Amino acid sequence: MVHPYTIRKWIRAIDGREGSKSLLPKISWNRMDDAVRWAVHELRQLCPEPEMGTRTIAMQMVRSGIQISRRSVQRILRETKPKKSRKTKKRWPKLNQAKGVEPDHLLTPSTPNHTWHMDIMTFRVLWTTYSAVAILDGATRKLLCLRAYRNKALDSQQMVQLVMTTTKKHGVPANLITDHGVQFHN
């Protein structure tokens, strides 16, 4: 619900008694974005005065696609540097390990051939779609297998065949880590 005095003020502004400035808030036309202000201050901090003046800073920013004049750079440098917003990391509580049980360390294995990592990446080159499948050893980060497929939807049978050929060559791992892609479901 709008107050009656507000409606009267709007009518006066439309009639021209108070002017149309009262209808809209005042716009600051020369206000630069905070990211531009931050960039100017960072450039000044990285390159002190003798090497890079305000004209050079403005010219470099114009070259990178930011419309700014030398005068605006001078005005921004006279202001105080904007503070960085601190993003706090969410702290998760530490998990208590079960007594008498040693951790398995799936993500950081200490011996080769303990944990393998397998992933698929699909990408397009011009009009052709390719899929790349990679199997890595978790401890040594050695690339055990890399296959590329063209214009082919990969299924679970191809993934099983790829793992079987890799195990024949490098042995059987204790663990195989994959994502939840449809290729790994039956």
Q: Pick 115-184's CATH classification: 3.30.160, 1.10.10, 3.30.1120, 1.10.3470.
A: 3.30.160
Confirm if 60 and 68 have CB atoms less than 8 A apart.
no
**Residue 53 predicted with pLDDT over 70:** yes
Confidence of residue 129 (pLDDT cuts 50, 70, 90): confident
**Residue 165 predicted with pLDDT over 90:** yes
Confirm if 150 and 128 have CB atoms less than 8 A apart.
yes
The two three-digit tokens of residue 34, written as one number = 């905070």
Give the Cα separation of 157 and 95 in Å (integer).
38
Those residues with Cβ within 8 angstroms of residue 112's Cβ, 6 or more apart along the chain or in another chain: 137, 139, 140, 142
Q: What pTM was estimated for this model as a whole?
A: 0.43
Confirm if 37 and 82 have CB atoms less than 8 A apart.
yes
| Tens digits of residue pLDDT in 73-91 | 998 888 876 566 566 666 6
Give the Cα separation of 186 and 159 in Å (integer).
11
Of the given ranges (7-16, 41-50, 98-107), which has the lowest mean pLDDT? 98-107
Q: Indicate the domain borders of the chain.
A: 31-84, 115-184
